[in-house]
Amino acid sequence: MAVTGVIFVGYVFVHMIGNLKVFSGPEAFNGYAQWLREVGYPLIPHRGVLWALRVLLVVSVLAHVWASLVLWARGRRARGPHRRRRMPTLLATGARTMLPGGVLILVFVGVHLLDLTIGRLVTPESFRSGDAYQNLVASFSRPWMAIFYAAIMLVIAAHIVHGSRTLLQDLGATGQRLRMVWVVVGVLVALAILLGNALIPVLVQMGVVT
Protein backbone atom coordinates (compact mmCIF):
# COMPACT_ATOMS: atom_id res chain seq x y z
CA MET A 1 0.00 0.00 0.00
CA ALA A 2 2.74 2.38 1.05
CA VAL A 3 4.95 2.03 -2.04
CA THR A 4 2.13 2.17 -4.60
CA GLY A 5 0.50 5.02 -2.65
CA VAL A 6 3.72 7.06 -2.84
CA ILE A 7 3.95 6.40 -6.60
CA PHE A 8 0.39 7.72 -6.98
CA VAL A 9 0.79 10.77 -4.82
CA GLY A 10 4.04 11.54 -6.69
CA TYR A 11 2.18 11.32 -10.00
CA VAL A 12 -0.79 13.43 -8.86
CA PHE A 13 1.55 16.08 -7.39
CA VAL A 14 3.63 16.37 -10.59
CA HIS A 15 0.41 16.29 -12.67
CA MET A 16 -0.95 19.18 -10.57
CA ILE A 17 2.20 21.24 -11.27
CA GLY A 18 1.75 20.51 -14.99
CA ASN A 19 -1.94 21.48 -14.77
CA LEU A 20 -0.94 24.91 -13.44
CA LYS A 21 0.43 25.63 -16.94
CA VAL A 22 -3.20 26.35 -17.82
CA PHE A 23 -2.67 29.78 -16.21
CA SER A 24 0.01 30.55 -18.82
CA GLY A 25 -2.50 30.16 -21.65
CA PRO A 26 -3.38 27.66 -24.40
CA GLU A 27 0.03 27.58 -26.05
CA ALA A 28 1.93 26.82 -22.84
CA PHE A 29 -0.60 24.16 -21.76
CA ASN A 30 -0.85 22.44 -25.14
CA GLY A 31 2.93 22.67 -25.56
CA TYR A 32 3.35 20.91 -22.24
CA ALA A 33 0.81 18.19 -23.22
CA GLN A 34 2.70 17.71 -26.50
CA TRP A 35 6.04 17.58 -24.67
CA LEU A 36 4.71 14.68 -22.56
CA ARG A 37 4.34 12.71 -25.79
CA GLU A 38 7.76 13.67 -27.15
CA VAL A 39 9.91 13.59 -24.01
CA GLY A 40 13.15 11.65 -24.51
CA TYR A 41 12.79 11.52 -28.34
CA PRO A 42 14.78 10.43 -30.42
CA LEU A 43 16.53 8.29 -27.78
CA ILE A 44 13.11 6.99 -26.64
CA PRO A 45 10.31 6.42 -29.21
CA HIS A 46 7.36 8.86 -29.43
CA ARG A 47 5.06 8.42 -26.41
CA GLY A 48 7.59 5.96 -24.92
CA VAL A 49 7.85 7.74 -21.55
CA LEU A 50 4.08 8.36 -21.52
CA TRP A 51 3.37 4.65 -22.05
CA ALA A 52 5.92 3.63 -19.42
CA LEU A 53 4.16 5.98 -17.00
CA ARG A 54 0.74 4.59 -17.95
CA VAL A 55 1.91 1.00 -17.34
CA LEU A 56 3.46 2.00 -13.98
CA LEU A 57 0.21 3.72 -12.94
CA VAL A 58 -2.04 0.81 -13.96
CA VAL A 59 0.20 -1.72 -12.15
CA SER A 60 0.28 0.58 -9.09
CA VAL A 61 -3.52 0.96 -9.04
CA LEU A 62 -4.06 -2.80 -9.27
CA ALA A 63 -1.45 -3.47 -6.55
CA HIS A 64 -2.89 -0.70 -4.34
CA VAL A 65 -6.45 -2.03 -4.61
CA TRP A 66 -5.32 -5.62 -4.06
CA ALA A 67 -3.26 -4.61 -0.98
CA SER A 68 -6.20 -2.64 0.42
CA LEU A 69 -8.45 -5.70 0.20
CA VAL A 70 -5.80 -7.94 1.79
CA LEU A 71 -5.31 -5.43 4.65
CA TRP A 72 -9.05 -5.02 5.14
CA ALA A 73 -9.58 -8.81 5.34
CA ARG A 74 -6.56 -9.24 7.62
CA GLY A 75 -7.85 -6.49 9.94
CA ARG A 76 -11.30 -8.07 10.13
CA ARG A 77 -9.83 -11.48 10.95
CA ALA A 78 -7.48 -10.06 13.60
CA ARG A 79 -10.26 -8.01 15.21
CA GLY A 80 -12.73 -10.89 15.42
CA PRO A 81 -15.98 -9.84 17.07
CA HIS A 82 -14.27 -6.92 18.91
CA ARG A 83 -14.43 -3.22 18.02
CA ARG A 84 -11.73 -0.67 18.64
CA ARG A 85 -13.02 1.88 21.20
CA ARG A 86 -11.97 5.38 22.18
CA MET A 87 -10.43 6.21 18.81
CA PRO A 88 -10.31 9.99 18.22
CA THR A 89 -13.28 10.91 15.98
CA LEU A 90 -11.14 12.47 13.25
CA LEU A 91 -8.91 9.39 13.01
CA ALA A 92 -11.89 7.01 13.01
CA THR A 93 -13.62 9.00 10.25
CA GLY A 94 -10.39 9.11 8.23
CA ALA A 95 -9.93 5.35 8.54
CA ARG A 96 -13.56 4.53 7.70
CA THR A 97 -13.62 6.71 4.60
CA MET A 98 -10.47 5.21 3.06
CA LEU A 99 -12.27 2.41 1.22
CA PRO A 100 -15.27 4.40 -0.12
CA GLY A 101 -12.90 7.30 -0.86
CA GLY A 102 -10.64 4.99 -2.85
CA VAL A 103 -13.61 3.70 -4.86
CA LEU A 104 -14.67 7.31 -5.61
CA ILE A 105 -11.13 8.16 -6.78
CA LEU A 106 -11.17 5.14 -9.10
CA VAL A 107 -14.51 6.28 -10.55
CA PHE A 108 -13.06 9.78 -10.97
CA VAL A 109 -10.01 8.48 -12.88
CA GLY A 110 -12.33 6.58 -15.24
CA VAL A 111 -14.52 9.65 -15.86
CA HIS A 112 -11.42 11.89 -16.18
CA LEU A 113 -9.82 9.66 -18.82
CA LEU A 114 -13.07 9.39 -20.81
CA ASP A 115 -13.50 13.15 -20.48
CA LEU A 116 -10.09 14.71 -21.19
CA THR A 117 -7.88 11.98 -22.67
CA ILE A 118 -10.25 9.89 -24.81
CA GLY A 119 -12.90 12.59 -25.32
CA ARG A 120 -15.89 10.25 -25.05
CA LEU A 121 -18.79 10.11 -22.62
CA VAL A 122 -18.98 13.75 -21.62
CA THR A 123 -17.63 16.06 -24.33
CA PRO A 124 -17.92 14.14 -27.60
CA GLU A 125 -19.07 17.15 -29.62
CA SER A 126 -16.56 19.68 -28.27
CA PHE A 127 -13.49 17.43 -27.93
CA ARG A 128 -10.56 18.48 -30.12
CA SER A 129 -7.68 16.00 -30.28
CA GLY A 130 -4.37 17.77 -29.53
CA ASP A 131 -6.04 20.82 -27.94
CA ALA A 132 -5.89 19.88 -24.26
CA TYR A 133 -6.53 23.51 -23.18
CA GLN A 134 -9.81 23.91 -25.07
CA ASN A 135 -10.98 20.44 -23.97
CA LEU A 136 -10.30 21.37 -20.35
CA VAL A 137 -12.18 24.69 -20.60
CA ALA A 138 -15.11 22.99 -22.42
CA SER A 139 -15.27 20.32 -19.71
CA PHE A 140 -15.10 22.67 -16.72
CA SER A 141 -17.62 25.08 -18.27
CA ARG A 142 -20.28 22.60 -17.18
CA PRO A 143 -21.05 23.49 -13.53
CA TRP A 144 -21.75 19.89 -12.47
CA MET A 145 -18.41 18.74 -13.89
CA ALA A 146 -16.55 21.62 -12.21
CA ILE A 147 -18.20 20.75 -8.87
CA PHE A 148 -17.40 17.05 -9.39
CA TYR A 149 -13.69 17.80 -9.98
CA ALA A 150 -13.40 20.20 -7.03
CA ALA A 151 -15.23 17.77 -4.72
CA ILE A 152 -13.04 14.83 -5.76
CA MET A 153 -9.93 16.93 -4.98
CA LEU A 154 -11.25 17.13 -1.40
CA VAL A 155 -11.65 13.33 -1.31
CA ILE A 156 -8.12 12.89 -2.72
CA ALA A 157 -6.67 15.32 -0.16
CA ALA A 158 -8.37 13.48 2.72
CA HIS A 159 -7.15 10.14 1.31
CA ILE A 160 -3.57 11.44 1.17
CA VAL A 161 -3.66 12.89 4.70
CA HIS A 162 -4.85 9.62 6.23
CA GLY A 163 -2.67 7.51 3.92
CA SER A 164 0.48 9.43 4.82
CA ARG A 165 -0.22 8.80 8.50
CA THR A 166 -0.64 5.05 8.03
CA LEU A 167 2.28 4.84 5.58
CA LEU A 168 4.91 5.01 8.32
CA GLN A 169 3.01 2.32 10.23
CA ASP A 170 3.14 0.08 7.13
CA LEU A 171 6.87 0.66 6.83
CA GLY A 172 7.43 0.02 10.55
CA ALA A 173 8.78 3.48 11.40
CA THR A 174 7.93 4.27 15.02
CA GLY A 175 9.93 7.43 15.90
CA GLN A 176 7.55 10.05 17.31
CA ARG A 177 9.42 12.98 15.75
CA LEU A 178 9.59 11.37 12.31
CA ARG A 179 5.86 10.69 12.51
CA MET A 180 5.10 14.31 13.35
CA VAL A 181 7.23 15.63 10.48
CA TRP A 182 5.75 13.10 8.07
CA VAL A 183 2.16 14.00 9.00
CA VAL A 184 2.94 17.69 8.33
CA VAL A 185 4.51 16.79 4.95
CA GLY A 186 1.40 14.73 4.09
CA VAL A 187 -0.94 17.61 5.00
CA LEU A 188 1.11 20.12 2.95
CA VAL A 189 1.23 17.86 -0.13
CA ALA A 190 -2.53 17.18 0.17
CA LEU A 191 -3.26 20.92 0.49
CA ALA A 192 -1.10 21.74 -2.55
CA ILE A 193 -2.91 19.10 -4.63
CA LEU A 194 -6.31 20.29 -3.39
CA LEU A 195 -5.73 24.01 -3.97
CA GLY A 196 -3.65 23.71 -7.17
CA ASN A 197 -6.16 21.42 -8.89
CA ALA A 198 -9.50 22.67 -7.50
CA LEU A 199 -8.59 26.24 -8.45
CA ILE A 200 -8.76 25.34 -12.16
CA PRO A 201 -12.47 24.34 -12.42
CA VAL A 202 -13.37 27.18 -10.03
CA LEU A 203 -11.60 29.79 -12.20
CA VAL A 204 -13.12 28.37 -15.40
CA GLN A 205 -16.56 28.74 -13.80
CA MET A 206 -15.73 32.32 -12.77
CA GLY A 207 -14.75 33.12 -16.35
CA VAL A 208 -11.11 33.87 -15.42
CA VAL A 209 -9.77 30.91 -17.47
CA THR A 210 -11.47 30.94 -20.87
Nearest to ligand HEM of 50, 147 (CB atom): 50
Nearest to ligand HEM of 122, 200 (CB atom): 200
13's CB contacts (< 8 A; 6+ apart) are 189, 192, 193
Least distance in Å: CB of 165 to ligand HEM? 19
Nearest to ligand HEM of 138, 167 (CB atom): 138
Nearest to ligand HEM of 92, 208 (CB atom): 208
- Give dist(CA 64, CA 62) in Å, integer: 5
Least distance in Å: CB of 27 to ligand HEM? 14
Inter-helix orientation angle 143-171/2-19, to 10°: 140
Cβ 50 vs Cβ 36: under 8 Å: yes
Nearest to ligand HEM of 160, 167 (CB atom): 160
Closest CA to 201 of 19, 32, 36, 11: 19
Q: What is the dihedral of CA 59, 60, 63, 66, to 10 degrees?
A: -110
- Give dist(CA 9, CA 19) in Å, integer: 15
- Reported as half-sphere exposure (CB side, CA atoms, 13 A), residue 167 has a value of 23
Nearest to ligand HEM of 108, 167 (CB atom): 108
Least distance in Å: CB of 169 to ligand HEM? 23
Least distance in Å: CB of 81 to ligand HEM? 36
Closest CA to 98 of 197, 164, 182, 147: 164
Least distance in Å: CB of 150 to ligand HEM? 8
Query: Interface residues with ligand HEM (CB under 6 A)?
Result: 12, 15, 19, 33, 50, 54, 57, 105, 109, 112-113, 116-117, 132, 136, 149, 156, 197, 200-201
Least distance in Å: CB of 180 to ligand HEM? 27
